Structure 1
Amino acid sequence: MVSHLPPLLLIGCGQMGGALFRAWEKNGLAPSVIIDRHRETVATPHSLARSIDDIPNKFSPDAIVLAVKPQKAIGTIAELTAKRPDLLANSPVIISVMAGCTTQSLASTFADSPAGLSPAIVRTMPNTPSAVGRGMTGLFAGTGVSAEQKALCDTLLGAVGATVWLDEEDQINALTAISGSGPAYVFLLAEFLEQAAIEQGLPQDIARLLARKTITGAGELLDQMPEDAAQLRRNVTSPGGTTAEAISILNAPDNWPSSIPEAVAAAARRARELAA
């Protein structure tokens, strides 16, 4: 648990930006500025701004976090560099949580500004469990990111869960397909289990409870036990028993063994298309 975090400029405080901000508040965030058009207020000592025009004078963040929708990235950076280039005077690290925006595209946008800026940029891909402190975030450091800036990014994203640094930026597309999109796969499994339980004659409220608690309990067991997933599965699967019967269906060549890799490959392919 970190005890203090430096001042930040957070641009965008929606689902992901909001989850990050809540975690940073709990970890002693120094007085920071949050730009968001929809929030009514933020807790003291932080400041809420409706636009870049409202950022207090002399504010000097150690990091600028871009958490707007990807299609707004160019406009946001252009406005920031045109109206408040002073915010980059002390070389804050730029942290992007925008899917599909490469470090090169962001660097080009900063370079095209009147001042020809070239800040250090770190691209990140958190996932939605970050909202409950159980996130998984992949990070990639662009050109010129210092060891101290990497450490800061690791601390900030580590406040919402586990972190991993990637050696190549293209790897973030595979990470997106696994941990970024992965929670949706788990939620879909919960849907299927709930429906299957109802079809077996269980009331909906019990079916939902069974599906959710089974998945969350299994996830916690997987997280805490030293055995790999295959061994944990074998521990549950008695030869000739009920679990073995179900696993034989799921393990049929045209079921999970082919559909899971196919689904992940499709997600990774789409991530690359969006980043093009």
Structure 2
Amino acid sequence: MQFQLIGCGKMGEVILKGLLDFSVSPQDISIQETNEQQCTYLKDVYKICLGTNSNTDIIILAVKPQQIGEIDFLKFSKSALLFSIMAGVSIKKLETLSGIKNIIRSMPNFPLSVGRGVLGYVEYGNIDQGKKNLILNVFSQIGKVIKLKNEDQIDQITALSGSGPAYFYYLTELVKNQAKNFGFSEEDATVIAQETFVGSALLLDQSVQSASQLKANVTSKGGTTEAAIQTMKDEGIEEIIKNGINAAYTRAQSLNK
């Protein structure tokens, strides 16, 4: 099976590593990348062929949405599977621009780079099951794969898991800032915030209990945690988070237009 990776920035490199870890030969992967520095890096590190393989079986689109119009799809077979990770580019637009009718539109998130990410996808056309299973199995090795009901759920999962890591980092940043306000040093504040969140995530991962149950375990009646959580609720944190996610969803929808 031949792969054409169009765009190989941060997420493109995550996919490239996933392909290689899945025992796809470097000789079976071709990359189109416009950044000369990145091209040099890819050649030196991965020994990958740079250029276009017109006989490719699976085309992976990992460029920025505004670059989609620069791709010459005439070089590729119309029987290829088009696998897109681009936000804001609908299946209809992908089909119109590429002339390819077998399309998987997906939304990965960056924790795939450490083997703990999420990829949601929706498929269109009469897709070859061998090609589909191969590319999805690659992602299954580095995260969880979720088949979505429709294309609108791509925008929803973009707001949830696509943007989700930034929500986690933002909360970590806020706790760190408050630690500094209390008088802790930059180094100690960083340790307090990061280890609290990372350790809690690991505990959630390893526990049979849900997040709600684990929260209840830490929240003693009349204690400090209850005081904090109740204050956050009174200040509207649930509505704030819901509105933030909805704003991301609305923005994702607007990018498709």
TM-score calculated relative to the size of structure 1:
0.85
SS in 1 for 2:39: coil
SS in 2 for 1:39: helix
Q: 1:47 aligns with which of 49, 55, 72?
A: 49
Q: 1:35 aligns with which of 32, 36, 39?
A: 32
CA contact (8 A) 2:73 2:98 kept: no
Q: CA deviation at 1:157?
A: 2.0
Matched AA of 1:36: E
Q: CA deviation at 1:153?
A: 2.9
CA contact (8 A) 2:33 2:39 kept: yes
Q: CA deviation at 1:45?
A: 5.8
> Unaligned 5+ residue runs, structure 2?
none
Q: 1:98 aligns with which of 81, 86, 90?
A: 86
SS in 1 for 2:187: helix
SS in 2 for 1:124: strand
Q: CA deviation at 1:241?
A: 1.5
2:213 is the alignment partner of 1:213: no
Q: 2:251 aligns with which of 263, 270, 274?
A: 270
Q: 2:95 aligns with which of 102, 107, 120?
A: 107
- 1:220-239 residue pairs with structure 2 within 5 A? 220-239=202-221
> Unaligned 5+ residue runs, structure 1?
1-5, 50-54, 112-117
CA contact (8 A) 1:42 1:48 kept: no
> What residue in structure 1 maps to residue 57 of structure 2?
62
2:160 is the alignment partner of 1:178: yes
Q: How many residues align?
A: 250
> What residue in structure 1 maps to residue 151 of structure 2?
169
| 4+ aligned runs moved over 4 Å, structure 1 | 42-45
CA contact (8 A) 1:94 1:121 kept: yes
Q: CA deviation at 1:228?
A: 1.7
CA distance in 2, matches of 1:162, 1:99: 19
Q: CA deviation at 1:201?
A: 1.6
Matched AA of 1:23: G
Matched AA of 2:16: F
CA distance in 2, matches of 1:120, 1:179: 25
CA distance in 1, matches of 2:206, 2:196: 15
2:20 is the alignment partner of 1:25: yes
TM-score calculated relative to the size of structure 2:
0.91
The range that moved more, 229-238 or 149-158, is: 149-158
Q: CA deviation at 1:260?
A: 0.8
CA distance in 1, matches of 2:176, 2:92: 44
> What residue in structure 2 maps to residue 199 of structure 1?
181
RMSD of Structure 2 on Structure 1 (CA): 1.7
